[in-house]
Amino acid sequence: MRKPFRFKQFEILQDKTAMKVGTDGVLLGAWTCYENVKSVLDIGTGTGLISLMIAQRNSSATILSLEIEKNAFDQALENFENSIWKKRLEIKNTALQDFKTKKKFDLIISNPPFYTTTFKNEDEKRALARHSESLPYSVLLKNCAELLSENGICSFIIPYSEETNFIKIAKNYKLYPKRITQVKGNKKTPLKRSLLEFSFQELKIEISELIIEIERHKYTEDYINIVKDFYLKM
């Protein structure tokens, strides 16, 4: 029997793909701004989690998702078809590098692959999904700049250790940080992730910190406020 991961307004089947529902994807989908957004591009959608989260938060936007790995593509398509927002969701089985369109998007969102070690995971599907060689930051950001509407934003979650380099690469394509939230597991652990929002406008950057847990399975109020519309037990 297939057991989905249940959220408040949708379910995620994840038995066909190596990439399961995780904190990174949920955080990005919940943190990202969606006001004044009519068109969304989700790069590397995996199970379709982030696209479904944006569909829940924005009642009118059309969302196009890209997924290179065939099993993940099939899984996301199934998850979209099972959702109440299926008419606003579309998915293509393609790499970003091969995606061609004249359309511009108000929001581009991606939880990009980020393993930088030379040792790929034994599970090739997981390696393809997470290993940064499959989508280098420079390729990701160049394409985002070409596909983003004039007043649009793009949002990412990356390792905190990559933040400075990522911002530097983005600047090459005239994408400037607008909002940054640096994430740590608890008060005593080092910063682990960076949530980044970019636009074509150079503005004063809004920087904040998010701590996920007070102690094991006891979550901070800030974290609960971000994800409570999605997780069943929040």
Domain membership flag for residue 131: yes
Domain membership flag for residue 234: no
Distance, CA of 46 to CA of 75 (rounded, Å)? 8
Chain segment 83-93, per-residue pLDDT in tens = 999 999 999 99
Confidence of residue 167 (pLDDT cuts 50, 70, 90): very high
Tokens 């974290």 -> residue: 223
Report the amino acid identity of residue 88: R
* Per-residue pLDDT at 130 exceeds 80: no
Structural domain span for residue 176: 23-227
Where is 227: in which H helix or E strand?
A: helix 221-227
Q: Tell me the mean pLDDT in the region 137-164.
A: 96
Q: Tell me the mean pLDDT in the region 169-196.
A: 97
Domain membership flag for residue 11: no
Q: Nearest Cα to 153, choosing from 172, 173, 135, 179?
A: 179
Q: Nearest Cα to 83, choosing from 56, 60, 50, 63?
A: 56
Tokens of 164: 């400075």
Overall number of domains in the chain: 1
Domain membership flag for residue 233: no
User: CA gyration radius for the chain?
Assistant: 17
Q: Tell me the whole-structure pTM to 2 decimals.
A: 0.91
Domain membership flag for residue 232: no
| Domain CATH for 180 | 3.40.50.150
Q: Tell me the mean pLDDT in the region 175-186.
A: 97
Domain membership flag for residue 4: no
The per-residue pLDDT for 216 is 86
* Per-residue pLDDT at 227 exceeds 80: yes
54 with 63: CB under 8 angstroms?
yes
Select the highest-mean-pLDDT range: 80-89, 131-140, 212-221.
80-89
Domain membership flag for residue 2: no
Domain membership flag for residue 12: no
